[in-house]
């Protein structure tokens, strides 16, 4: 059977949209490095924050650079006490007009914070506020912007010597992720067929894949398929949610190739004994042609996003519930 809603050429072309901006993105990183900084602050909302969070994670794990990741809504109410005269903030929003993110950008700007934004639409409010903006349009995956930007910063700080090779390989990332989609499709279609009507779905992940577990369940299954979920991180699963497991409780575990993999394996071993409906999606199962093994540990979020997209694409076809239907989101004011 042919893959539903899959256009390989388009995926590769969308990768080029971002990779082609590498010189611009690296120049921004160079300028940030040259000016110095007292804090690298990642702030956005919802799925956009979840996309950014792994980059704060990589900075923490690879360096001593000062870094914080704070939801824009919480930033505005005082949840970061490290903002200083040399702080640099990184924001992202597909529309460029997400209310809390725009408000946070204005508030940071008023304090003299340097602002970088990755935005889908040109000429958005966010772009008008920020010092540097990369407009990605149809470019995917958006994470590539931050692999280049943050990778280059970590290269300058001496924490990521292999960055130039890594960045060169990113030219082939979109193609590799198209291959991942092909490898994952059959399993994901089966998953969508089996579980699209489950009354409750536990989603589990850790480390650089915790934001993926959190946002895929909330921003895709809940928001665009109206499917009920509970997401919990792998270590926290053992402090409560484990008690819900029974043979018929649908449980989905994401396994990362990052430093928290053992946390996921612990869940896998436990859950396999206590539910018949356990599905594990493991980035390790997917070949990434053209990407060196040494860089795989940095790429779990984009590999997993490519896998999970095959659930979404199949599920909307199976349920007849388009991913674009909303009851309330951006349809009424609140």
Please report, as ranges, the residues that interact with a second copy according to CB under 8 A: 45-47, 57, 59-61, 63-67, 71, 73-74, 77-82, 100, 199-200, 207, 215, 218-219, 222-224, 226, 228-236, 238-245, 259-260, 262-263, 266, 269-270, 274, 326-329, 334
CB of 27 vs a second copy, minimal distance in Å: 26
Least distance CB 24 / a second copy (angstroms): 28
Nearer to a second copy, 63 or 183 (CB): 63
* Cβ closest to a second copy, residue 3 vs residue 62: 62
- 2 or 327, CB closer to a second copy? 327
Residue 252 CB contacts under 8 Å (≥ 6 apart), including other chains: 191, 201, 202, 203, 204, 278, 279, 280, 281
269 neighbors 253 (Cβ within 8 angstroms):
no
Which C-beta is closer to a second copy: that of 182 or that of 274? 274
Compute the radius of gyration of the chain from its Cα atoms.
Answer: 20
The count of other CB atoms within 10 Å of the CB of residue 5 is 12
Count of C-beta atoms within a 10 Å radius of residue 239? 10
Shortest Cβ distance from residue 186 to a second copy (Å)?
Answer: 28
Nearest to 144, CA basis, from 128, 114, 168: 168
Instruction: Give one DSSP letter per residue of 174-226, joined into a string.
Output: HHHHHHHHHHHHHHHHHHHHHHTT-S-EEEEE-GGGHHHHHHIIIIIIIHHH-
* Shortest Cβ 100–a second copy spacing (Å): 7
Q: Is 148 strand, coil or helix? A: helix
Say whether the peptide bond before residue 141 is cis (omega within 30 degrees of 0): yes
Q: Which is nearer to a second copy, 18 or 67 (CB)?
A: 67
**Which residue, 26 or 100, is less far from a second copy as judged by CB?**
100
Question: What is the Cα–Cα distance from 246 to 273, expressed in whole angstroms?
Answer: 9
Nearest-approach distance from CB 157 to a second copy, in angstroms: 12
Stated as kind and residue range, the H or E segment containing 278 is: strand 278-282
Q: What number of other Cβ atoms are within 10 A of residue 154's Cβ?
A: 21
Of 169 and 222, which has the nearer Cβ to a second copy? 222
In this complex, which beta carbon is closest to a second copy, that of residue 57 or of residue 295? 57
Q: Quick one: which of 238, 216, 239 has its CA closest to 230?
A: 216
Which residue do the tokens 């890594």 mark?
166
> What minimum distance in Å lies between the beta carbon of 213 and a second copy?
13
Q: In sequence order, which ranges of the chain are alpha helices (DSSP H)?
A: 8-19, 22-35, 46-62, 72-76, 99-110, 125-129, 143-156, 163-170, 173-195, 210-215, 223-225, 234-237, 261-274, 293-296, 300-319
Query: Which is nearer to a second copy, 159 or 169 (by Cβ)?
Result: 159
């Amino acid at each position: 059977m042919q893959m539903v809603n899959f256009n390989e050429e388009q995926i590769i072309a969308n990768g080029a949209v971002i990779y082609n901006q590498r010189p611009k993105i690296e120049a921004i990183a160079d300028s940030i490095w040259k000016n110095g900084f007292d804090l690298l602050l990642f702030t956005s909302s919802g799925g956009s924050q979840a996309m950014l969070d792994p980059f704060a994670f990589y900075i923490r794990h690879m360096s001593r650079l000062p870094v914080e990741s704070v939801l824009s809504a919480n930033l505005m109410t005082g949840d970061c006490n490290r903002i200083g005269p040399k702080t640099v903030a990184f924001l992202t929003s597909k529309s460029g007009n997400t209310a809390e993110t725009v408000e946070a950008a204005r508030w940071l700007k008023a304090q003299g914070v340097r602002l970088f934004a990755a935005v889908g639409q040109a000429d958005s409010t966010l772009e008008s506020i920020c010092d540097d903006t990369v407009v990605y349009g149809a470019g995917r995956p958006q994470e590539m912007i931050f692999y280049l930007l943050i990778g280059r910063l970590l290269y300058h700080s001496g924490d990521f010597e292999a960055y130039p090779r890594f960045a060169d390989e990113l030219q082939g990332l979109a193609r590799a992720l198209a291959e991942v989609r092909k490898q994952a499709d059959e399993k994901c279609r089966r998953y969508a067929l089996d579980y699209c009507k489950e009354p409750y779905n536990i989603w589990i992940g850790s480390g650089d894949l915790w934001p993926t577990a959190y946002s895929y369940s909330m921003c895709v299954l809940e928001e665009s398929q109206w499917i009920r979920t509970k997401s919990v991180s792998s270590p926290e699963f053992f402090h409560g949610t484990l008690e819900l497991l029974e043979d018929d409780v649908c449980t989905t575990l994401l396994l990362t190739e990052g430093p928290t993999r053992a946390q996921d394996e612990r869940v896998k071993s436990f859950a396999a004994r206590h539910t018949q409906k356990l599905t594990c999606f493991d980035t390790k199962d997917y070949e990434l042609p053209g990407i060196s093994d040494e860089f795989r540990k940095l790429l779990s979020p984009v590999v997993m996003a490519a896998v999970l997209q095959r659930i979404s694409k199949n599920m909307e076809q199976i349920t007849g519930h388009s991913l674009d239907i909303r009851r309330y989101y951006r349809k009424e004011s609140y």
